[in-house]
Amino acid sequence: MYKDRIRLSSLLDKVMSADEAASLIKDGMTVGMSGFTRAGEAKAVPLALVERAKTNPLKITLVTGASLGNDIDKKLTEVGALARRLPFQVDTTLRKAINDGKVMFIDQHLSETVEQMRAHQIPRPDIAVIEAVSITEEGHIVPTTSVGNSASFVQFAKQVIVEINTTLSTDFEGLHDIYLPEERPNRTPVKVLKAEDRIGSAAIAVDPSKIVGIVFSELRDSPSNALPADEETQAIADHLIAFLKQEVDAGRMPNSLRPLQVGIGTIANAVTSGLVKSPFTDLVQYSEVLQDSTFELLEAGKLKFASASSITVSAACGERVFGNINAYKDKLVLRPQEISNLPEIVRRLGTISINTALEFDIYGNVNSTHVNGSKMMNGIGGSGDFARNAQLAVFVTKSTAKGGAISSVVPMVSHVDHTGHDADVLVTEIGLADLRGLAPRERARAIIDNCVHPDYRAALNDYFERACAKGGQTPHILSEALSWHVSLEENGAMLVK
């Protein structure tokens, strides 16, 4: 079996236990690990590191593609092993440690982490830990269900640990397209002109002498935790699909739309699923992450091709797809997140980008990360890479949260991740606001009339009208602008009747 998975025989003597590999990670190191949206993370080595940290404490800077599964962030936090963490996370325990100021979290646009490493603006990893299905004759690394930042971590790190996951077939080889931009000033265009273009190699190039350990694991990705669509997420999907039909009818895009980027989560999944019954054909995805709905669309013959940096699916979907990956290889490609999210390509293709907001304000500024301006939820992820450069940047959210105590449409957002410039269309279950070409006062009218929950509409109208009386391009009453959030903190609800 080893020879099938490690085709460069000189590397066979690098096989070791996860404990041995974990012992190569030293206190104070910057560790670059595979893993993007809970797909394809190294598993055995970090879990061994957790065990070791229990008796032999250490603190590391952990850099990944995006979020990890298998409770790795939780367990590393519990043993106090994380000094710094970037660029994204979704774990409740880590989130608390971040918000308590115990872990320094550097929330980043996901295309930018390795760009900053390349320019020596943030530390390069001392060691990389990369999940793979196999190692090629040249010693190159074939990733699993995500590419993330793995290729750059391997390039930058002095030492590389490969974790071979034997639950996934070696047939994954050929699914990935590994391409890294050159160092400046010799950077050339990244020649992805269509979502399906392949411009790189099937495996991550590495000088085999950097591979200091190879570990075998049988741990699987955590399954997707997207919920089935409910009435509200379905309404959001319906509004958006009706709008896209109008766009096609008006001749602003073809019936195959533009390449779709859809964020992770329940609403996003519902929107993509909704396309199965839509009149659109020959769709393509140019996205970060593929969810179950991508495979529904593929199987329904609606989707021609999907490009992303990871595949995060339910157990059932995983069995279907990963168990028969050869059947999908001409319809899928996984790329480094720097390429899946590259402003150059997103703008060239002109994606339709659909991401989820926590809240937005009457002028269309979007908060996707900070509850009440202070507490980190997950991170901005790739939403900014896409929203800034998309042809159509859509943000979706339910109009209220926490049983109605919170309006997701507020006078002023408590934190800005995306400015109004980067939000073309906003959608809640109430309706859709098309903000293109509108001045701020006109945006406010469109948002209040279309997106706000009826329980909050009068109060927002009142705020807006009084603000307009004071004047300005973007009228605000600063002494009240954040009062809904203050009320939430003090009274548990934004509006007290």
Ligand X SMILES: CC(C)(COP(=O)(O)OP(=O)(O)OC[C@H]1O[C@@H](n2cnc3c(N)ncnc32)[C@H](O)[C@@H]1OP(=O)(O)O)[C@@H](O)C(=O)NCCC(=O)NCCS
What part of residues 291-330 is at the interface with a copy of itself (CB under 8 A)? none
Rank residues 172 and 386 by Cβ distance to a copy of itself and give the closer one. 386
**Partners of 310 in the β-ladder:** 146, 289
Instruction: Select from a copy of itself, ligand X, none the partner in contact with residue 356, using the beta carbon and a kind-dependent cut-off of 5 to 8 Å.
Output: ligand X
For residue 55, state whether it binds a copy of itself (rule: CB under 8 A).
Answer: no
Q: How many residues are present in the chain?
A: 497
Q: Which of residues 345-364 bind ligand X (CB under 6 A)?
A: 355-359
Rank residues 393 and 435 by Cβ distance to ligand X and give the closer one. 393
Q: Judged by CB under 8 A, which of 80, 174, 223, 350 binds a copy of itself?
A: 350
Q: Judged by CB under 8 A, which of 100, 249, 454, 496 binds a copy of itself?
A: 100
Rank residues 12 and 377 by Cβ distance to a copy of itself and give the closer one. 377
Instruction: Select from ligand X, a copy of itself, none the partner in contact with residue 401, using the beta carbon and a kind-dependent cut-off of 5 to 8 Å.
Output: ligand X
Q: Quote the crossing angle between the two packed helices 315-322 and 292-299, to the nearest 10°.
A: 50
For residue 93, state whether it binds a copy of itself (rule: CB under 8 A).
Answer: no
Active site residue 359: no
Minimum distance of ligand X from residue 247's CB (angstroms): 22
Site for ligand X (CB under 6 A): how many residues?
Answer: 25
**Partners of 336 in the β-ladder:** 148
Instruction: Select from ligand X, a copy of itself, none the partner in contact with residue 368, using the beta carbon and a kind-dependent cut-off of 5 to 8 Å.
Output: ligand X
> Quick one: CA dihedral 418, 423, 428, 430, positive or negative?
positive
Instruction: Select from a copy of itself, ligand X, none the partner in contact with residue 375, using the beta carbon and a kind-dependent cut-off of 5 to 8 Å.
Output: a copy of itself
Instruction: Select from ligand X, a copy of itself, none the partner in contact with residue 122, using the beta carbon and a kind-dependent cut-off of 5 to 8 Å.
Output: a copy of itself
Minimum distance of a copy of itself from residue 317's CB (angstroms): 29
Q: Give the residue from 273, 278, 281, 282 showing the smallest Cα distance to 314.
A: 273
Rank residues 44 and 426 by Cβ distance to ligand X and give the closer one. 426
Q: Which stretch binds ligand X (CB under 6 A): 75-83, 341-349, 380-388, 431-439?
A: 380-388
Give, in order, the Cα–Cα distances in Å from 290 to each of 220, 246, 299, 305, 393.
17, 26, 14, 11, 18
Q: Judged by CB under 6 A, which of 272, 294, 309, 383 binds ligand X?
A: 383
Minimum distance of a copy of itself from residue 253's CB (angstroms): 8
Q: Judged by CB under 8 A, which of 9, 27, 193, 279 binds a copy of itself?
A: 193
Q: Are 405 and 488 in contact (CB under 8 A)?
A: yes
Instruction: Select from ligand X, a copy of itself, none the partner in contact with residue 355, using the beta carbon and a kind-dependent cut-off of 5 to 8 Å.
Output: ligand X
Q: Which of residues 437-456 bind a copy of itself (CB under 8 A)?
A: 437-439, 441-442
Rank residues 318 and 382 by Cβ distance to ligand X and give the closer one. 382
Strand, helix or coil at 137? Answer: coil
For residue 479, what are its two tokens? 């002494």
For residue 424, state whether it binds a copy of itself (rule: CB under 8 A).
Answer: yes
- The DSSP secondary structure of 36-94, one letter per residue, reads BTTBS---HHHHHHHHHHHHS---EEEE-SS---TTHHHHHHHTT-EEEEES----HHH
For residue 77, what are its two tokens? 């936090």
Q: Judged by CB under 6 A, which of 148, 200, 265, 364 binds ligand X?
A: 265
Q: Are 48 and 78 in contact (CB under 8 A)?
A: no
Q: Judged by CB under 8 A, which of 54, 158, 187, 329 binds a copy of itself?
A: 187
Residue showing tokens 């319809």: 331
Q: Judged by CB under 6 A, which of 205, 401, 405, 495 binds ligand X?
A: 401
Q: Which stretch binds a copy of itself (CB under 8 A): 36-44, 131-139, 147-155, 347-355?
A: 347-355
Q: Residue 339: which residues within 8 A CB-CB, separation 6 or more? A: 177, 179, 190, 192, 345
Within 165-230, where are the H helices?
Answer: none
Q: Judged by CB under 8 A, which of 277, 479, 496, 497 binds a copy of itself?
A: 479
Instruction: Select from ligand X, a copy of itself, none the partner in contact with residue 145, using the beta carbon and a kind-dependent cut-off of 5 to 8 Å.
Output: none
For residue 53, what are its two tokens? 């940290």
| 87 upstream amide cis, omega within 30 of 0 | yes
> Quick one: CA dihedral 274, 279, 282, 283, positive or negative?
negative
Q: Give the residue from 189, 158, 118, 140 showing the smallest Cα distance to 339.
A: 189
Classify the phi-psi angles of 379: left when phi > 0, otherwise alpha if psi is within -120 to 50, otherwise beta: left
Rank residues 29 and 317 by Cβ distance to ligand X and give the closer one. 317
Give, in order, the Cα–Cα distances in Å from 255 to each of 115, 244, 250, 306, 393.
36, 9, 11, 17, 18
Question: Distance between CA 467 and CA 298 in Å, rounded?
Answer: 49
- Choose the catalytic residue: 288, 338, 359, 429: 288
Instruction: Select from a copy of itself, ligand X, none the partner in contact with residue 203, using the beta carbon and a kind-dependent cut-off of 5 to 8 Å.
Output: none
Provide the mask over 108-147, with x wherever binding to a copy of itself is found by CB under 8 A and - wherever it is not.
xx--x--xx--xxxxx------------------------
Query: 256: exposed, middle or buried (C-beta count within 10 Å: 0-12, 13-18, 19+)?
Result: middle
CA atoms within 13 A on the CB side of 77: 23
Residue type (1 letter), 404: G
For residue 415, state whether it binds a copy of itself (rule: CB under 8 A).
Answer: yes
Instruction: Select from ligand X, a copy of itself, none the partner in contact with residue 250, using the beta carbon and a kind-dependent cut-off of 5 to 8 Å.
Output: a copy of itself
For residue 342, state whether it binds ligand X (rule: CB under 6 A).
Answer: no
Q: Which residues make up the interface to ligand X (CB under 6 A)?
A: 263-267, 288-289, 355-359, 368, 371, 377-378, 380-383, 398, 401-402, 406, 408
Instruction: Give the residue numbers marked as catalytic.
Output: 288
